[in-house]
Structure 1
Amino acid sequence: MTAEPTLPEAARRGLRRPLAMTRLGLVAERVARTFWPLWTLLILAAALLMLGVQDTLPLEVVWMLGVAIVANVIWAASWGVRRFSLPTEAEALDRLDRTLPGRPITAISDSQAIGGADSASRAVWEAHVLRMAERVRSARAVRPDLRVSDRDPYALRYAALLALAIALLFGSILRVGSIAEMAPGGGGQAAAAGPSWEGWIEPPAYTGLPSLYLADLGESVEVPEGSSVTLRLYGEVDSLHVMETVSARAGDPEAASGPVQSFEITQPGRIEVEGRGGRSWDIAMAPDAPPAITVTEPAERAEGGEFRQPFQASDDFGVTGGRVTITLDTDAIERRYGLAPDPDPRDPIVVDLPLPISGDRSDFTGTLVDNFSEHPWANLPVTLRYEVVDAMGQTGASEPISTPLHGLRFFDPMAQAIIEQRRDLLWTRENARRVSQVLRAVSFHPEDAFPSQSLFLRLRVAIRRLEAGIADTPLDLERQEEIAAALWDIANELEYGDLSDALERLRRAQERLSEAMENGADDAEIAELMQELREAMDDYMRQLAEQSQGQEQQQAQGEMQEITGDQLQEMMDRIQELMEQGRMAEAQELLDQLNRMMENMQVTQGQSGQGQQSPGQQSMQDLQETLRDQQGLSDDAFQDLQEQFGQNQPGEGRQPGQQGQQPGQQGQQPGQGQQPGQQGQPGQGQQPGQGGEQGQGQSLADRQQALRNELERQRGNLPGAGSEAGDAARDALDRAGRAMDGAEDALRERDYAGALDRQSEAMEALREGIRNLGEALAQEQQQDGQGQASTDGDTQGQQRDPLGREPASNGRIGSDEQLLGQDDVYRRAEELLDEIRRRSGDQLRPEEEREYLRRLLDRF
């Protein structure tokens, strides 16, 4: 044991506070290390009592657990007492001294052993003592080390603290008193002290309402339907009874006196605890209202043929699910042509309603969005019934709603005919023969209706598949669905076509808009078609700008109509405005005028061109030629596929008047058997290495290989390296090359269906590459054009725009040239005045409008 040092009185006074604090720290350390099992057991016991474990476990188990805890508490207390000892002052001084440099407390407690008679030696010793005394003044109390992890490696103390935290959150300190009732005679003491029961009413979880403690409630209580009641009775058996009329359980005297009572509230009534300290409550049940749903707006057709209809749903505690059931309204259908027979049985359409992912579902609005364009009932009258469900399983439904099942509409006449026959085929399989006859009739002159030979051939294959299916047996469901899918694809391609060519896309958009105006399309369809026309116009103008780079200026041989991009947008805005006002004739006239302007438009450039194309334009033309060659090769592969299907049926696939010639020869096929841009393409005539006896599959494979090699050469010479658009073009051409390789392998194996899939991938990648290359060239042109004030042959520093117009004066954007010739201006003015006079005399028009028109006539 450390000897207590003898300190000078001055030094002891300076160390009084840090010494006392250090000594208290030592006491805390020894208490923590010797009594941690004791306080761990006490904390665990308190947590179990607050959680009410003694109320849920059998009495025998509670007694055994209590005895075990008490025995362990006694052992832990005795173990701690035996090992605990109070720290002495010497131990505190030693710990404090160890924290100071040079151990100054020990130094000033020592005395000089030798040299006491020597004055010099005494002076040195006194200086040393003074220096150590200075260090003692800086002493601070030492922090105790309360860690006991070396004695508690399993962290049992933390487990006990966690249990106590859970008890504080979810338990009650009042439950600790129930342990006294389990002791002998405890029941009487509890009865004398107060009520010997406790109970709760728990509303259904979906309501989100809190539990109610019966002892805190008044005599009248209102609770939601489906709430559960739990009552616990303490004390002697049969001293308390529970009487209730709120549940449907049968009266059982033994059950009424049981220690635990649980039942569900299904009706209003009364709950009573009979006996000493008992109480009663009148229970009023608040019924759970069923959910409700209403449709707020009529259904509409959105972009892409989407069906949209807003709705509103509500419930007192929130909607949990919903659906809409769509059934065919046969009474509202005009039963003629293909719809005259009775339809085949078909299940109703059931669509889940969209519900809020988060937030309150007690009152919300939503929109049913789905695309039924490919369903047989598309655009036919249907009946919709909306339903919602709450947590109790109650259902609320809307009134039946009659509306067309909006879907995608087709404006191309041939596409309309094919979609109508597809609908008739899906209506009933009895229409199969009629559908095949109608499809043969409408495709009698394919050159007038089909933009490409492959579409016609695909339709012929579908017709033959349909006729083969009804030749011997009724048409089966699998073939019915297969043919319907093929007709859908053909109609889509007829409607939207191959839109890689900007001018063709522009013409197609104008045709679709004209058809929509004639057919009375709604506002949503008009807006969608106008957006398509604007996008097509933007693509066409961008292509004109790209093609104008490096081209030689061409002079017009007659009057050339010129128009700015802003004026084009104004014309399209005017067209849309007229259509929205219902003035379709004027809108159609303005659309025809726009069409004539686009046809007469000429692309020119400044006089600096010498008729030589830039490398970028040459690459663009080469890629477009490769795309046309690949399309022609795909048409030939599809023709071989058609022949493969009809190899045992001579004469199949020939049109009347063809004299036995196959499609693609000089018959009445589109393009006279020659695809656009196929002149001089690989495969026209004899291919290198193609002998007369060589099979057609090998010939097509050689042509595909030649196209692949040509594409690789073009990819190596592609401009725009380093730019994002240029790199994207190279990646797209690389994908096209891999697809061509796959098509070549399929052709050599005579797998024409697989070859067509690979060729379609190649064409799509080629189109993407052409678009990316156009963007790269446009970026280069924009960068090259900055800072150039003049070019050769243009001394004023001005250049014509891609449409061949001189810039306006004073630096304005646009043109000072007249949009129409002088004669056209006068003619147009006369037409406008005549129209104003006619409308001003129309008695069916509002008086305000006719007054405005009369003011116009007076002014002009």
Structure 2
Amino acid sequence: MAQSDNTTFNKVIQRLKRPLMLTWAGLIAERLVRAFWPLWSVVIAVCAALMLGLHDLAPVEIVWTLAIVSGLAALGFAVHGARRFDWPSREEAIRRMDGVLPGHPLATLADRQAIGGGDTGSQALWRAHIARMEARAAGAKAVEPDLRLSRRDPFGLRYVALLALVVAVLFGSVWRAGTVSQMAPGSGAALASGPTWEGWIEPPAYTELPSLYLNDQDGAFSAPEGSLVTLRFYGEVGALSMTETVSGRTEDVPPATDTEQSFEITQDGTLRIDGPGGEEWTITALPDAPPEASISEGLEVTFDGQMSQPFAASDDHGVAGGTATFELALDEVDRRHGLTAEPDAREPIVLDLPLPITGDRADFTETLIENLSEHPWAHLPVRLTLTVRDERDQTGQSAPVVMDLPARRFFDPMAASVIEQRRDLLWAKSNARRVSQMLRAVSHNPEDGLFKSETAYLKLRVILRRLETFIDHDSLTDETQEDLAQALWDLAVLLEDGDIGDALERMRAAQERLSEAMRNGASEEEIARLMQELRDATQDYLRQKSQMAQREGDQADEPDRGQSENMQTLTDQDLQDMMDRIQELMEQGRFAEAQQALEEFQQMMENLRVTEGQQGQGGDNPGQQAMEGLAETLRDQQGLSDEAFRDLQEQFNPGAQAGESQGNEGRNGGQGQGQQHSQQGQGQQPGQQQGQGQGQQQGQQPGQGQGNQSAEGQQGGQAGNLSERQEALRRELERQRQGLPNVGGQAGEDAREALDRAGRAMEGAEEALRGDDLPEAIDRQAEAMDALRDGMRSLGEALAENSQSQPGQGQAQSQTPGQFGEQDPLGRSQRGLAGDQGEFTAREDVYRRAGELLDEIRRRSGDTARPDVELDYLRRLLDRF
């Protein structure tokens, strides 16, 4: 760029004085860094070595050799940098700033018009060009310097030196650098300057406390017991000596004049250095207090027996672990009926206490979450004691608390009887004959309604025959006792929960009987009885709906869960209001109006049945079918992931049987029984309906199942089987993706993109399984499940948008025209039935379930006995969520 006396150029440069100065300063910094980075790297490295006291660890000759080499290197780098450094000029700064502007306006403003000076048109064009460049130059900003040195320092030596300096600042001392002046070949300088000393106190590692530099301490201070004291004497040997009473040593004590002393602090005492510059300190040894634990109030038990017991723990340096022990309080047991016999010996229940993943463990509050409903001591008095330990293996215990072992409660009379006999059987094998007699008595000639299904009655008779066979042949072993107890538990759950379809049919039958009685003019007593029957049937139906929704809480991300919760909440209110209205009309003698209200109630239940049928079977709605197919794929993928995770556990814990690791609960809720583990022996493939697998189990005897298979049989060909099932699941997802309904909008595109991501993740999981890389496969499977959830959510939003634009389709077909407007027969929003996640995710149950899952992950991650690979996986889950 040539010098110019152009007035416009000078005015623009004057206005850009500040950004031009900043750009010029950046050029100076850029060239200084490029020229002198080796120099300051050497200087920083030398300072770090001196602050860390490395010169005290090496012979004097090596120290001075390195000092000379470092000095020569620094001098050489300084000369080399000075020769390379070129002071930037003002024109270079202008060119740097002009180079980032479009069209280089500053260079243009410095130019002169070479031709056409006498032409009016050319001059006008030139002035317009200059004006445009002037406006463009007005927006010029300072240019940032390029301080990157990766090309000149490919090994990052400058960062190594900087890291060493940071470590020296944190763990070293500036005073250590001064001792280098006392070092000279032959120790002549040290002798000339006189003797000196330095020392450090290093607390035990578990305290996580910093080291103390003894030279900086006053006359009295405290240190934890077990701290290591290190002293070094420099100069003439014997000029300095040490006397101490803090170690309690009486044997093998080295001479007090040794140049290096090392001992631990075990008690209160004094430490004195005699000689030139000597000092004396009074040291207080801080004992390591044992940890403490206490059981907090606020025990909560869910409907299925899962307890949440808060507790508090503390330690001066942090709690390392702990256990919760439940022991049978035999002196508190009401020894009646089946409990009069002497109980069989059983080990106490020992559970690992959950610890905080992050944060301070010195004082914290956590919650122990566990479900002990199937334990023989369920609902019996137990003593709960918490035991915590610290890093020194000191233990502390909480005060024992007597409580009934939290467990699930059964309200159905027959289910409660079965559970009571199960308890007696597990209490003592000598109760076996009494249990068989009680079961035979309660099941003899049962009244109508005592058993909710013939299946339940037949299961009870099978269990009874097995028990009597074992009694007759005196072959009731521990294994057969556990098998029978499990069969009785399954029977009680079946009797308590029943079948949701049967409950709905009983409610419809009660409606029809009440309607028939009203038409035939039955007595008030008969109508009141039938009304109460209808109310009881409705309550039973709503209770089973509520329990089903809670049991399927792990499917909170799926639209069906939101539909079930929404339907249960509104159904409870609507049906109760309707029945109260019917009863009020009958009490007032307005039977015609009561009959009409009952017909509306029947119509409502018919619409409910149709809606449930569409939700359960898909109906003719392609969108609903697609949602159900994706939900089934998600469940199958979850089962595959659970099984892969269990296989990974078994690789690192060969002593555990397949799928029987304590606390490893899959979708089925049993120990180690995930969805695929419980289906593997039945040949169920991904995408197959679960009901098809259950039908094969009904022919098994209670207590028999896949758990009797040997571990070797389960592990044979496992990796190949998993990869083949993963491939089949990926193909099924591809088929579903191609068969998605034609939904437009951004939500539809998001759904397709999410399913495509899920397919790629499944393909990665399949390749990892074929390569026997289980950790990688689990990660890819987790990505696939996340993508599937995103796709289902987007598809639900797209279907909701379509249902709004086409109100005559979908769920509206089951409504009475003009009766419910924008709502379905149960008063619910159509958008909710179409899969709008906005109404579902706002419910507190979603957050409650998320909290429960997070607590469970934390509990398992606090179990130090689990394999390292499992703990690493759980921590990655906590980092993600």
Q: With the length of structure 1 as denominator, give the TM-score of the two structures.
A: 0.53
The question of whether the paired residues in 2 share the 8 Å contact of 1:386 and 1:397 is answered with: yes
**In structure 1, the residue corresponding to 2:350 is in which secondary structure?**
strand
SS of aligned partner of 1:226:
coil
Residue identity opposite 2:464 in structure 1: I
Instruction: Give me the CA root mean square deviation.
Output: 6.2
- Paired position in structure 2 for 1:386: 386
CA–CA distance in 2 between the matches of 1:541 and 1:146? 70
Instruction: State the distance in 1 between where 2:380 and 2:346 align.
Output: 14
Aligned to 2:270: 270
What is the CA–CA distance in structure 2 between the aligned matches of 1:46 and 1:728, rounded to whole Å?
66
Amino acid across the alignment from 1:43: I
Distance in 1, Cα, partners of 2:298 & 2:94: 91
Q: Aligned ranges for residues 549-628 of structure 1 at < 5 Å?
A: 563-564=580-581, 602=595, 604=597, 617=606, 620=609
Aligned to 1:483: 484
Specify the code of the residue in structure 1 equivalent to 2:419.
I
2:42–2:161 CA contact under 8 A, matched in 1: yes
Q: Distance in 1 between matches of 2:78 and 2:281?
A: 49
Does structure 1 residue 52 correspond to structure 2 residue 60? no
Q: Does the aligned pair in 1 maintain the 2:190–2:235 contact within 8 Å?
A: no
Q: 1:489 to 1:512 in 2, by over 3 A?
A: farther
Instruction: Give the Cα separation in 2 of the matches to 1:435 and 1:308.
Output: 32
Give 1:204 deviation, angstroms.
4.0
What's the counterpart of residue 288 of structure 1?
Answer: 288
**Alignment of structure 1 residues 138-149 onto 2, 5 Å:** none
8 A Cα contact 2:323 2:387, kept in partner: yes
Matched residue type, 2:243: M
Pair 1:751–1:176, CA change in 2 (3 A):
same
- The alpha carbon displacement at 1:446 in A equals 3.4
What's the counterpart of residue 174 of structure 1? Answer: 175
Counterparts of 1:511 and 1:141 in 2: how far apart (Å)?
80
Q: Is the 8 A contact 2:570 2:826 kept in 1?
A: no
Q: Structure 1 residues 80 and 97, CA, compared in 2 at 3 Å: closer, same or farther?
A: closer
Residue 623 of structure 1 deviates from its aligned partner by 8.3
Go from structure 1 to structure 2 and tell me whether the alpha carbon gap of 1:182 and 1:6 turns closer, same or farther (over 3 Å shift): same
Letter in 2 for 1:199: G
Looking at structure 2, the residues matched to 512 and 142 of structure 1 have their Cα atoms a distance apart, in angstroms, of 76
The amino acid across from 2:493 in the alignment is: N
How has the CA–CA distance of structure 1 residues 72 and 432 changed in structure 2, closer, same or farther, with 3 Å as cutoff? same
Alpha-carbon distance, 1:328 to partner: 1.2
8 A Cα contact 1:412 1:512, kept in partner: no
Aligned-partner residue type, residue 819 of structure 2: G
Post-superposition Cα deviations, 1:787-833, rounded to whole Å, max 9, x if no partner, equal: 79xxxxxxxxxxx999xxxxxxxxxxxxxxxxxxxxxxxxxxxxxxx
Asked if 2 retains the 8 angstrom alpha-carbon contact of 1:96 and 1:141, the reply is: no
State whether residues 41 and 73 of structure 1, in contact with CA within 8 Å, keep that contact through their aligned partners in structure 2.
yes
Deviations 1:443-500, CA, capped at 9 Å, x for gaps: 1113443121111111122222323334435322222111111101111221232233
| Alignment partners' CA distance in 2, 1:177 and 1:496 | 80
Taking the aligned partners of 1:744 and 1:496, their CA distance within structure 2 comes to: 21
Q: How many pairs align?
A: 579
Contact 1:715 1:730 in 2 (8 A): no
| Aligned partner (choices 815, 822, 829) of residue 781 of structure 1 | 815
Deviations 1:293-343 (A, max 9, x none): 344548675543344555444444444433221111222334344323322
Asked if structure 2 preserves the Cα contact closer than 8 Å seen for 1:299 and 1:403, the reply is no
Rounded to whole Å, the distance in 2 between the matches of 1:776 and 1:544 is 27
Distance 1:511 1:366, change over 3 A: farther
Deviations 1:262-304 (A, max 9, x none): 3321111121223221212121223233333344548675543
TM-aligned CA distance change 1:319 to 1:507, over 3 Å: farther
Q: 1:618 to 1:753 in 2, by over 3 A?
A: farther
Q: 1:509 to 1:412 in 2, by over 3 A?
A: farther
Distance 1:309 1:784, change over 3 A: same
Q: Distance in 2 between matches of 1:303 and 1:266?
A: 54
Q: Secondary structure at the match of 1:261?
A: strand
Q: Higher Cα Rg: structure 1 or 2? A: 1
Change beyond 3 A, Cα 1:415–1:486: same
The equivalent residue for 1:437 is 437
CA distance in 1, matches of 2:303, 2:691: 35
Give the match's secondary structure for 1:247.
Answer: coil
Alignment of 1:812-823 (within 5 A): none
- Map of 1:531 onto structure 2: none
Q: In the alignment, residue 400 of structure 1 is paired with which amino acid?
A: P
Partner of 1:395: 395
The 5 A counterparts of 1:686-697 are none
The 3 A distance-change label for structure 1 pair 431 and 70 is: same
Give the Cα separation in 1 of the matches to 2:441 and 2:430.
19
Distance 2:270 2:177 in 1: 30
Q: In structure 2, give the amino acid aligned to 1:564.
A: R
Residue 58 of structure 1 and its aligned partner are, at CA, apart by 4.5
Q: Secondary structure in 2 aligned to 1:564?
A: helix
The answer as to whether partners of 1:715 and 1:733 remain within 8 angstroms in 2 is no
Aligned to 2:404: 404
Q: Distance in 2 between matches of 1:491 and 1:6?
A: 100
- Alpha-carbon distance change, 473 to 23 in structure 1, aligned in 2, over 3 angstroms: closer
Alignment of 1:304-703 (within 5 A): 304-307=304-307, 309-448=309-448, 449-500=450-501, 501-502=503-504, 504=506, 510=536, 539=571, 563-564=580-581, 602=595, 604=597, 617=606, 620=609
Question: For residues 731 and 34 of structure 1, what CA distance do their matches in structure 2 show?
Answer: 62
- The CA distance in 2 between the partners of 1:538 and 1:154, in whole Å, is 67
* Alignment CA distance shift 1:508-1:270 (3 Å): farther
TM-superposed CA distance for 1:144, in Å, is: 10
| Distance change (3 Å), C-alpha of 1:235 and 1:394 | same
- 1:167-211 CA-partner distances (Å, limit 9, x unpaired): 445433322222122214656557747x72222333445555544
> In the TM superposition, what whole-angstrom CA distance separates every residue of 1:333-376 from its partner, at most 9, and x where no partner exists?
34344323322221101123344455554444455443322110
What amino acid sits opposite 2:180 in the alignment?
I
Deviations 1:398-420 (A, max 9, x none): 33333322322323332222112
Q: Deviations over 1:678-729 (max 9, x none)?
A: xxxxxxxxxxxxxxxxxxxxxxxxxxxxxxxxx99x968x36676x7x8767
Instruction: Check conservation: 1:322, 1:353, Cα contact below 8 A.
Output: yes
Tell me the SS of whatever aligns to 1:446: coil
Q: What is the Cα deviation at residue 257 of structure 1?
A: 4.0
Aligned residues: percent identity? 43
Whole-Å Cα distance in 2 between the matches of residues 293 and 415 of structure 1? 38
With structure 2 as the length reference, what TM-score do the two structures score? Answer: 0.52
Corresponding position of 1:772: none
Q: Say whether the 8 Å CA contact 1:22–1:92 is kept in structure 2.
A: no
- In structure 2, relative to structure 1, the CA distance for the partners of 1:750 and 1:207 (3 Å cut) is closer
Flag the 1:535–1:84 CA change in 2: closer, same or farther, 3 A: closer
Q: Is the 8 A contact 1:387 1:398 kept in 2?
A: yes
Please tell me whether the aligned partners of residues 43 and 160 of structure 1 are also in contact (alpha carbons under 8 angstroms).
yes
- Cα deviation digits, residues 372-393 of structure 1 (max 9, x gap): 2211011112222222333433
Contact 2:380 2:405 in 1 (8 A): yes
How far apart are residue 435 of structure 1 and its match?
A: 2.2
8 Å contact kept, 2:632–2:687: no
Change (3 A) 1:751 1:391: closer
SS at the partner of 2:304? helix
Shift in alpha-carbon separation, 1:141–1:397, aligned structure 2, 3 A: closer
**Letter of the structure 2 residue corresponding to residue 42 of structure 1:** V
Which runs of no fewer than 5 residues in structure 2 stay unpaired?
6-10, 99-103, 113-117, 119-133, 508-531, 541-565, 636-683, 706-808, 828-881
Distance 1:727 1:142 in 2: 56
Residues 1:225 and 2:242 aligned together: no
One-letter identity of the residue aligned with 2:469: A
**Alpha-carbon deviation of 1:149?**
6.2
Which SS does the other structure have where 2:580 is aligned?
coil
- TM-superposed deviation, 1:510: 5.0
